[in-house]
Amino acid sequence: QNAMFALGVIVWFTLLSGILSAMDLLWGQIFQSQGMVMAMLLLVFALTLSLFGLFMLPSFAFREKQGKVSKRSAFITGMIATCLATPCSGPLLGGVLGWSFNQPQPILGIVFVSVGLGMASPYIMLAIFPKLGRHFPKPGPWLARLEVLLGFFLMLTCAYLFTLLT
């Protein structure tokens, strides 16, 4: 599942590179589109309701039948999580992005795949060395309380995204 999540991260950056090149857009321009903001708002709102326990989103169902996680679910979750995190990584990559958008598409694609590999590297390491997982806290009742707390932060994110709509 770690490998599939990492693949989802890398595929998202590869797709984003192609979309930005094909539409002749820069990093932040796609996230200033009213349609994209609305899509992100709806996705974050659905995720918020899911964290509050009102329903389970299928692609975020980390534990499916018999406690197993499907590869498809891990892949889609990697793509969606990265899509939602992409606008936040722009300020940290300012110089790299400024340079890469002045390069031909193959160079831009290599830069984006490299960013995706960097973002996916913790999951790749866990896929290669699964015993690293024993250093993480075990799930328990604390996790349900954390989900509700994170739900409130996502609700604030929804409020912010709503203010961006005209």
User: Model confidence over 59-72: pLDDT tens digits?
Assistant: 555 445 555 668 88
pLDDT over 90 at 158, yes or no: yes
By the 8 A CB rule, do 82 and 69 touch? no
List pLDDT tens digits, range 133-142.
899 888 889 9
Give the Cβ contact number of residue 83 at 10 Å. 20
Q: Which two tokens stand for residue 147?
A: 């989900």
List pLDDT tens digits, range 12-41.
999 988 888 888 888 778 778 898 889 989
Task: Give the per-residue pLDDT at 67.
Answer: 55
Contacts by residues 83-86 (CB-CB < 8 Å, ≥ 24 positions apart): 83/12, 83/40, 84/40, 84/43, 84/44, 85/119, 86/12, 86/16, 86/31
In angstroms, how far is CA 100 from the centroid of its own chain?
21
Please tell me what DSSP assigns to residue 131. Answer: G
By the 8 A CB rule, do 87 and 31 touch? yes
By the 8 A CB rule, do 127 and 17 touch? no
pTM metric for this prediction: 0.77
